[in-house]
Amino acid sequence: MSSRKTILRGSCRPCVRSLRALLAVSLCHFISGYSDKDRAHDLLSKYPLIDGHNDIALRLRILHNNQLSKINLTHLNNVATDISRLRAGHVQTQMFAVYVLCGAQQMDAVRLTLEQIDVVRRMCTEYPDFELVTSTEEIRASARKQKIACLISIEGGHSIDSSLPALRMFYQLGVRSMSLTHSCNTPWAESSSKLYDVFLRSNNSLTSFGKAVVDEMNRLGMIVDLSHTSWGTATAVLKHSKAPVIFSHSSSYAVCDHSRNVPDSLLHKLKKNRGLIMVNFYGPFVSCKDKAMVSHVADHFDHIKRVIGAESIGIGGDFDGGNSFPEGLEDVSKYPVIIQELLKRNWTEDELADVLRRNFLRVFEEVERVRDQLIWNKPSEEQIPLEEVANPCRLVLRQPVLIAV
């Protein structure tokens, strides 16, 4: 009997030591005042944020006509984004959205998109805090240099004017992601919004040309973004894409039944695709009201984690894309607030490290891996049928007819 007691005591000693160590750490934290706020900042310092969507380029157009020489992006009023606040929010990589209004479709969307790419490229090369990046390797290198990495994303497939050559040229300019729609249908994909009565189709939410767009994005190594697409288009893309996709700034439909959010059925498909949903902070999308609190945003994180796990979640704040954000999450300096809230809800540091950074890097790396597998595929020469575009301003290049006089 005594020998058995000795064995039991010996086997429990590591457990006792572990418990004592845990209690000592907890007591130390209690005595020193080490709080969830401190933990959030420490975690963000170790795993600085990659954010999927920011609309400062749109604000620069509206407020300053893209005249960077007349402003100071380190400290900028009347917006939610500037360099000092990105630093305070521990943002290490920001996907900057290049967005032009749907009214430009069939008009000058390509020119306007080029001008918005220009302003993002300029701000990310003229300010030493920023660095323009185009790959996961460059993101990591930028982090080592303590730079804020800039990724360029086109918001709305109408920007390419149904042209695969235009898509390829945007890639050459540094674009690494594109959402297939914004608030209007394109001739080849369907929006979640009914705001614009254009390119309406029945039972064809992703046309043959739309699949060609996805294929070419896969070949290039450009991330397919499904935020703003209809559920039908999202379902078709998730079935068709060879690479993981993202929702760059969308939340949970089960928590807030807004058409911009993602239902559980699509979340399961996204999980199978190994893709990513980057939770949006915009008030009407998180609370279904103009007013929202930090707890409303955290509810979306909790629900999505229950459905598909923390390994499928990122953050896409959507700052400067609207004017109604939760109290306490008003600008890009406030990201530690949501991390603090999730820590209070017993999210582990490993889960939050995934959400902050590792999940996006995994998805982008897999997109690059698919690109490398398709390296021998030639650029697609597929063209959209003119009757599907139905654009009287679309010129068909032919030899001009010379009239003798």
Looking at 228, 296, 300, 303, which residue is catalytic?
228
pLDDT score for 331: 98
Q: How far is CA 382 from CA 158, 159, 209, 387, in A?
A: 17, 18, 7, 15
DSSP-derived pairing of the beta strands 313-315 and 276-279: parallel
d(CA 192, CA 233): 9
Is residue 179 helix, strand or coil?
strand
Tell if the pTM clears 0.95, that is, is over it.
no
d(CA 60, CA 265): 37
**Statement: residue 205 has pLDDT above 80:** yes
pLDDT score for 8: 33
pLDDT score for 228: 98
Asked if 228 is an active-site residue, the reply is yes
Q: What are phi and psi of 287, to 5 degrees?
A: -115, -5
CB count, 10 Å around CB of 87?
17
Looking at 82, 131, 225, 249, which residue is catalytic?
249
> What is the pLDDT averaged over residues 91-106?
96
Q: Give percent helix, percent strand, percent coil of the chain, each to the nearest 5.
A: 50, 15, 40
Looking at 51, 55, 131, 351, which residue is catalytic?
55
Looking at 158, 182, 296, 300, which residue is catalytic?
182
**Statement: residue 109 has pLDDT above 60:** yes
pLDDT bucket at 12, cuts 50 / 70 / 90: very low
pLDDT in tens, 207-228: 999 999 999 999 999 999 999 9
pLDDT score for 404: 67
d(CA 182, CA 185): 8
Looking at 53, 158, 296, 300, which residue is catalytic?
53
**Statement: residue 94 has pLDDT above 50:** yes
Looking at 155, 215, 331, 341, which residue is catalytic?
155
pLDDT in tens, 255-276: 999 999 999 999 999 999 999 9
Asked if 249 is an active-site residue, the reply is yes
CB count, 10 Å around CB of 110?
18
Question: Both tokens of residue 216?
Answer: 């070419």
Asked if 155 is an active-site residue, the reply is yes
pLDDT bucket at 104, cuts 50 / 70 / 90: very high
Fold of 49-389: TIM Barrel (3.20.20)
